[in-house]
Structure 1
Amino acid sequence: MDPALGAQLLSAIARLNRWANRTAGVTESVAAARLLAVIEELDETRIGDLAKADNCSQPTVTTQVARLYDAGWVAKQADPDDARAVRVSLTASGRAYLAATRAARAEAVRPRLEQLDQRQLATLTEAVGILEQLATPGSSGDASTINDYAEGRQA
């Protein structure tokens, strides 16, 4: 395997994501959409666990969550296991915003996909399945989950 493959893959994905955000006219913070997606993955989570899962400091996530809360995209509730902690989850409005953002980004990519021939589309379809496998915790022999990261069980 080419040792540069991982770097090339991640660079291409990052460039495609940035391009899709610009082309789709994502008007809200890209960081907000990313954090909403992490909250969706974790379901209902504590701010500290969210910070670990998103690889951010707790004060940064606290500020971002406050903005999401003010926008009506997340709900906050007391943690039943720790009165000092707050748990956050997506609201219906947050789920709708995340779905609309994803749909706009997908629509931005559609014209480029339509330029591909059938062989390229088949290859890309297969590659997307492989990327999903790579991105899915617990696949490919990786026993970790996003909750493992959130709870500090992974480096």
Structure 2
Amino acid sequence: MPVSEEDALQLVVSLHRLLRSLRRASANTHISPTQLIVIAQLMEHGPLRVGELADRVPCSQPTATTCVAGLEAGGYVRREPDPTDGRATKVTVTDAGRQVLLSMAHSEAATLTERLDVLPAEEVALVLAATPVLRALTDLPQSRTPITP
């Protein structure tokens, strides 16, 4: 089924607004959304080079470097020598980084649960059914150029 650019735009705006409102409700607002994504990527994939993080977030390498520096200063990540290349380093998440991400995720989930509780059961079922589809969209490779049939 073809999706119009307007429909896609409305979905993007709605998702951004929802995530922003959930993050505002979280107690740890000192961590930026990009920093949260970096910590989540490190938790999911293990230690990564800054360039790999930039590709996975996605963001520019300078943005990833700045993000990692801020997280490192906060004690949420640390740099370690890359065992396969002595000239390079990999970034790894610390226990404090894991804790801050889990704390924020639980806080956001609690807020979302409260909001879902006021919706009719059919609408809750639709939202929850979208979870695997949204995950699949998230896991698709990043493309800088439009895909043509």
**TM-score in terms of structure 2 length:** 0.82
Task: Select the residue among 62, 68, 72 that pairs with 1:69.
Answer: 72
Partner of 2:29 in structure 1?
Answer: 27
Residue 20 of structure 1 deviates from its aligned partner by 0.8
Match of 1:131, as an amino acid?
L
Residue 136 of structure 1 deviates from its aligned partner by 2.8
Whether the 8 Å CA contact 2:49–2:90 is kept in 1: the answer is yes
Partner of 2:147 in structure 1?
Answer: none
Residue 117 of structure 1 deviates from its aligned partner by 1.3
Higher mean C-alpha deviation, range 92-101 or range 60-69: 60-69
Pairing 1:132–2:135 present: yes
C-alpha deviations, 1:97-153, integer Å up to 9, x for none?
10001111111222211101111111111122221222234xxxxxx4xxxx6xxxx
Give the ranges of 4+ consecutive aligned residues of structure 1 lying more than 6 Å apart after TM superposition.
none
Matches of 2:81 and 2:109, distance apart in 1 = 36
Whether the 8 Å CA contact 2:54–2:61 is kept in 1: the answer is yes
Whether the 8 Å CA contact 1:24–1:107 is kept in 2: the answer is no
Higher mean C-alpha deviation, range 57-66 or range 108-117: 57-66
Partner of 2:50 in structure 1?
Answer: 47
Pairing 1:16–2:18 present: yes
Partner of 1:103 in structure 2?
Answer: 106
Query: With CA pairs under 8 Å and 6+ residues apart, which has the higher RCO, 1 or 2?
Result: 1
Match of 1:66, as an amino acid?
A
C-alpha deviations, 1:29-74, integer Å up to 9, x for none?
2232222122223321101111222232323322221221222211
Question: RMSD of aligned C-alpha atoms?
Answer: 2.0
**TM-score in terms of structure 1 length:** 0.79
Residue 77 of structure 1 deviates from its aligned partner by 0.8
Percent of pairs with identical residues: 30
Pairing 1:91–2:97 present: no
Query: Residues 130 and 55 from structure 1, CA distance in 2 versus in 1: closer, same or farther, beyond 3 angstroms?
Result: closer
Residue 16 of structure 1 deviates from its aligned partner by 0.4
Pairing 1:60–2:58 present: no
Match of 1:52, as an amino acid?
D
Partner of 1:140 in structure 2?
Answer: none
Match of 2:29, as an amino acid?
T
Higher mean C-alpha deviation, range 100-109 or range 25-34: 25-34
**Gap regions ≥5 residues in structure 1:** 138-143
Query: Residues 48 and 129 from structure 1, CA distance in 2 versus in 1: closer, same or farther, beyond 3 angstroms?
Result: closer
